[in-house]
């Protein structure tokens, strides 16, 4: 095994094209990707040499179509086709736009907002996606787009390909934000941003070419694309992939793949760990060996200490080490990764006074004195040469130690801005705080603080609920709702405020499990109302119970609070109906 602190010649590459070309040459026969079509059975594989050849073939075809420097929208299910098409775009010198492959008219209408913003010159899709959406294009207003399926693109000989001569400053792709707090924006990610972020991930995760990664994460999403696919190529490691729906339908498949392939690295959002802790049976656990899992990363949404405790407790008998749990923090505007701890360091959860956090101060407290508290999980620290600052969002002054402020980030991993949004880019990506005017910072929109040099996330600026002069974080209220009754679906509720008769009021919407069979919802509503009142000194104005999947979500599965709010006002939510 190589020394993870002594990176090989790949550290010298300046673009993703050069990276894969070297892998294709030096590690041609090394297995790069394995795809489990149903989450259990191997369906296809790619070596580094094969991926390099496919990328050349697709890139050559795109070059003959005059797409160098143009935007190409990628619509694929998670799989090896997507990876080949993505690198085919890069090999052509085109700007890739990964997006969720639409399944119906609603998905196409969401896609329309991306196409209106990015104005792609071509839509590159799998044959399956094309056959599904082609009859609906007129209804969605997308009939004018130019479409191409991947079969014809891979027919051109690789020898026709010409090196696009891109540089580290060239845009590699547009990563559209999830839209959880606003309309999606296209984050402009250059080749050097990805390579810088991959270096950070490599050092923090402590991996090398012998590592095995397992992932069910969507490949169009930054965590799946940068954190798994591109990171694996950067290391020269191996990645085992499965479709997201395979995991969601049967969560144990994720753990079975980790066990089967002896994966050292795998992860996902908080809800994934919660699903496994809740749904994996004792019989299923008996066949799992999770002893080789060294980095179980958790990110993309608030990390819950309770979830980490439940997961570790549930799978200790399978050889899982609690120290492998790896809470981390990141966002698309920073390519992906911003902060995390060290491998097998474990996580740190600390109680802070809720009242102090509302006043933007982080005061640790003992949970035995009756003080209302928030239990927050550390997301580690920055890596390599990246800077993280906590800044007062109103004054632009660096916050004092122990104060809660907006998280600002500066480093080579910070992207170039938002596509076609100069004003938003200047405001978000080119901030300066008083006393460090020479350094530009990314304003994350997230609230946090440092405690003993560790970063803690306290909430988001835009999602604050202010009632009776007090600040409340929606994620805290949502956690209370999820934990108050077993029938509330994990990661499937939203808390937001509305101005009703000149008063700010709390509204809660929550999805119920499919197995819930009560004929009367009054008991459930009362349980939620009581839990919120006791936990937050708040009396909800309205509690709405929804069918499974009733909450509006982003393409990556996050609840969109502002869309829930709009749907509540419009009366378009899928209200739960009692079933017997």
Q: Which region, left, alpha or beta, applies to residue 39 given φ > 0 means left and ψ of -120 to 50 means alpha?
A: left
Is the domain of 506 the same as that of 428?
Answer: no
Of 43-47, 141-145, 267-271, 539-543, minimum mean pLDDT range: 141-145
pLDDT in the model for residue 222: 92
Examine the domain organization and report whether 227 and 147 are in the same domain: yes
What distance in Å separates the CA atoms of residue 272 and residue 264, rounded to the nearest whole number? Answer: 17
Whether the predicted pLDDT of 483 surpasses 90: no
Q: pLDDT grade, residue 580 (50/70/90)?
A: very low
Question: Given this model, what pLDDT does residue 521 score?
Answer: 80
Size of the chain, expressed as the number of residues it contains? 580
Q: What is the number of structural domains in the chain?
A: 3
d(CA 283, CA 14): 49
Number of neighbours of residue 327 by Cβ within 10 angstroms: 30
Cβ atoms of 154 and 210 within 8 Å: the answer is no
Calculate mean pLDDT across residues 481-501: 87
CB atoms within 10 A of CB 394: 8
Residue 183 has pLDDT above 80, yes or no: no
Burial 451-483 (b: 16+ CB within 10 A, else e): beebbbbbbbeebebebeeebbbbbbbbbbbbe
In this structure, the answer to whether residues 437 and 502 fall within a common structural domain is no
Q: Which of 234, 249, 264 is the last residue of a domain?
A: 249
Residue 395 lies in a domain: yes
128 and 75 fall within a common domain: yes
Q: What is the rounded average pLDDT of the residues 363-387?
A: 87
In the numeric block, the tokens 């547009």 are attached to 174
What pLDDT is stored for residue 2 in this prediction?
39
In this prediction, residue 6 carries a pLDDT of 40
Residue 389 has pLDDT above 80, yes or no: yes
Using alpha carbons, list the distances in angstroms from residue 487 to 249, 271, 478, 547.
Answer: 17, 15, 14, 11
Nearest-5° Cα angle at 367, 365 to 370:
100
Question: Which of 85-89, 173-177, 372-376, 550-554 is modeled with the greatest confidence?
Answer: 85-89
Say whether both 549 and 523 belong to one domain: yes
Query: If 0-12 CB within 10 Å is exposed, 13-18 middle and 19+ buried, where does residue 415 land?
Result: buried
pLDDT attached to residue 468: 67
CATH number for 425: 2.30.38.10
d(CA 268, CA 300) in angstroms, rounded, equals 8
DSSP 133-160: HGGGHHHHT-TTS-EEEHHHHTTS-GGG
479 and 509 in a common domain: yes
Q: Report the 10 Å Cβ neighbour count for 27.
A: 17
pLDDT bracket for residue 473 (50, 70, 90) = confident
The residue among 230, 249, 268 that closes a domain is 249
* 533: enclosing H helix or E strand: helix 522-536
Q: What is the mean pLDDT of residues 212-228?
A: 95
Which of the pair, 407 or 110, is modelled with greater confidence? 407
340: three-class secondary structure by DSSP: strand
Percent of the chain with pLDDT over 70: 93
What is the chain's percent helix, strand, coil content, to nearest 5?
A: 35, 25, 40
Note whether 281 and 312 are within 8 A (CB).
no
Q: Are residues 83 and 189 in the same domain?
A: yes
Lowest mean pLDDT among 40-49, 154-163, 300-309, 395-404: 154-163
Residue 179's pLDDT band, with cuts at 50, 70 and 90, is low
pLDDT of 158 above 70? no
CA distance 193 to 332: 11
* Residue 3's pLDDT band (cuts 50, 70, 90): very low
| Residue partners of 422: CB distance under 8 A and separation at least 6 | none
Q: What is the mean pLDDT of the chain?
A: 90
Cα atoms in the 13 Å half-sphere on the side-chain side of 441:
25
Same domain assignment for residues 94 and 216? yes
**Is residue 217 located within the same domain as residue 88?**
yes
Regarding whether 506 and 445 lie in a shared domain, the answer is no
- Give residue 7's pLDDT: 42
In this structure, the answer to whether residues 377 and 443 fall within a common structural domain is yes
Contact 122, 148 (CB under 8 A): yes
Domain contains 504: yes
CATH number at residue 37: 3.40.50.12780
302 within 8 A of 273, measured Cβ to Cβ: no
Q: Measure Cα distances from 86 to 23, 49, 198, 405, 414 in Å.
A: 16, 16, 17, 37, 21
Last-in-domain residue among 216, 249, 282? 249
Domain-embedded: residue 221? yes
Q: Residue 106: is it exposed, middle or buried by C-beta count within 10 angstroms (0-12/13-18/19+)?
A: exposed
Helix (H, G, I), strand (E, B) or coil at 249: helix
Residue 500's pLDDT is what? Answer: 78
Residue 345 has pLDDT above 50, yes or no: yes
Does a structural domain hold residue 531?
Answer: yes
Greater model confidence, 135 or 390: 390
Strongest mean pLDDT among 99-108, 157-166, 439-448, 466-475 = 439-448
In a domain, 268, yes or no: no
Highest mean pLDDT among 173-187, 257-271, 538-552 belongs to 257-271
Axis-axis angle for helices 48-64, 16-26 (nearest 10): 140
Span 525-542, pLDDT tens digits: 999 999 998 888 889 999
Running DSSP on this structure, what letter comes out for residue 220? T
Flag whether 299 is in a domain: no
What pLDDT sits at residue 1? 38
Question: pLDDT digits over 495-519, tens only?
Answer: 998 877 666 789 999 999 888 877 6
Residue 254 resides in a domain: no
Q: Are residues 152 and 129 in the same domain?
A: yes
Instruction: Give residue for tokens 């509302």.
Output: 358
Please compute the mean of the pLDDT values over residues 422-443 and round it to a whole number.
92
Least confident of 21-35, 177-191, 278-292, 471-485: 177-191
pLDDT at 4: 39
Place 300 in a pLDDT band, splitting at 50, 70 and 90.
confident
Alpha-carbon distance values, 57 to 45, 61, 148, 230, 429 (Å): 18, 6, 15, 20, 36
Residue 410's domain comprises 343-460
CATH label of the domain that carries residue 506:
3.30.300.30
Who wins on pLDDT, 562 or 165?
165
Q: Give percent of the chain above pLDDT 90.
A: 64
**pLDDT class of 149 with cuts at 50, 70, 90:** confident
37 exposure class (CB count in 10 Å sphere: 0-12, 13-18, 19+): middle
What pLDDT, in 10s, does the model give residues 19-73? 999 999 999 999 999 999 999 999 999 999 999 999 999 999 999 999 999 999 9
Element (H or E) spanning 19, and its range?
helix 16-26
pLDDT of residue 107: 76
- Section 178-189 average pLDDT: 74
Question: pLDDT: is 322 or 369 the higher one?
Answer: 322
Does position 8 have pLDDT exceeding 60, yes or no? Answer: no
In a domain, 311, yes or no: no
Choose among 457, 515, 458: nearest CA to 486. Answer: 515
Q: For position 332, what pLDDT does the model report?
A: 93
């Amino acid at each position: 095994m190589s020394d993870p602190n002594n990176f090989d010649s790949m550290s010298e590459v300046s673009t993703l094209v050069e990276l894969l070309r070297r892998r294709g040459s030096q590690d041609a026969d090394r297995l790069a990707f394995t795809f489990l079509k149903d989450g259990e059975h191997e369906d296809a594989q790619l070596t580094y040499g094969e991926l390099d050849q496919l990328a050349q073939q697709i890139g050559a075809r795109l070059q003959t179509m005059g797409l160098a420097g143009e935007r190409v929208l990628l619509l694929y299910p998670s799989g090896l086709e997507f990876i080949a098409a993505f690198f085919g775009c890069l090999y052509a010198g085109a700007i890739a736009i990964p997006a969720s492959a639409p399944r119906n008219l609603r998905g196409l209408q969401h896609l329309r907002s991306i196409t209106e913003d990015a104005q792609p010159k071509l839509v590159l899709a799998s044959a399956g996606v094309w056959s599904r959406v082609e009859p609906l294009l007129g209804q969605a207003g997308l009939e004018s787009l130019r479409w191409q399926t991947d079969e014809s693109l891979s027919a051109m000989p690789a020898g026709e390909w010409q090196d696009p001569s891109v540089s580290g400053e060239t845009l590699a792709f547009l990563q559209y934000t999830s839209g959880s707090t606003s309309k999606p924006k296209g984050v402009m990610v250059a080749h050097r941003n990805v390579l810088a972020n991959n270096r950070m991930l490599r050092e923090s995760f402590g991996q090398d070419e012998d590592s095995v990664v397992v992932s069910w994460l969507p490949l169009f999403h930054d965590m799946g694309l940068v954190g798994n696919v591109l990171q694996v190529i950067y290391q020269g490691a191996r990645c085992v992939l499965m479709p997201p729906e395979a995991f969601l339908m049967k969560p144990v498949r994720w753990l079975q793949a980790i066990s089967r392939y002896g994966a050292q690295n795998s992860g996902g959002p908080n809800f994934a760990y919660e699903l496994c802790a809740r749904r994996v049976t004792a019989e299923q656990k008996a066949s799992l060996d999770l002893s080789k899992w060294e980095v179980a990363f958790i990110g993309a949404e608030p990390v819950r200490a309770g979830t980490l405790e439940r997961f570790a407790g549930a799978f200790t008998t399978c050889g899982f080490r609690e120290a492998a749990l790896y809470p981390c923090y990141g966002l698309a505007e920073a390519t992906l990764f911003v902060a995390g701890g060290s491998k097998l360091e474990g996580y740190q959860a600390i109680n802070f006074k809720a009242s102090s956090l509302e006043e933007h101060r982080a005061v640790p407290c003992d949970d035995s004195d009756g003080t209302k508290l928030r239990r927050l999980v550390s997301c580690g620290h920055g890596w390599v040469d990246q800077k993280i600052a906590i800044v007062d969002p109103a004054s632009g002054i660096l916050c004092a130690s122990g104060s809660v402020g907006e998280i600002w980030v500066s480093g080579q991993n910070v992207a170039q801005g938002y596509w076609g949004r100069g004003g938003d880019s200047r405001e978000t990506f080119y901030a300066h705080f008083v006393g460090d005017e020479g350094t530009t910072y990314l304003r994350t929109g997230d609230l946090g603080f440092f405690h003993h040099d560790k970063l803690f996330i306290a909430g988001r600026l835009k999602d604050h609920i202010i009632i009776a002069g007090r600040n409340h974080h929606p994620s805290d209220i949502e956690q209370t709702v999820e934990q108050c009754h077993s029938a509330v679906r994990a990661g499937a509720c939203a808390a937001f405020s509305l101005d009703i008769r000149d008063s700010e009021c709390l509204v809660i919407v929550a999805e119920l499990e499919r197995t819930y069979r009560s004929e009367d919802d009054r008991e459930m509503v009362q349980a939620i109302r009581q839990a919120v009142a006791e936990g937050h000194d708040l009396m909800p104005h309205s509690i709405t119970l929804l069918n499974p999947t009733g909450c509006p979500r982003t393409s990556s599965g996050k609840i969109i609070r502002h869309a829930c709010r709009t749907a509540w006002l419009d009366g378009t939510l899928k209200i739960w109906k009692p079933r017997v």
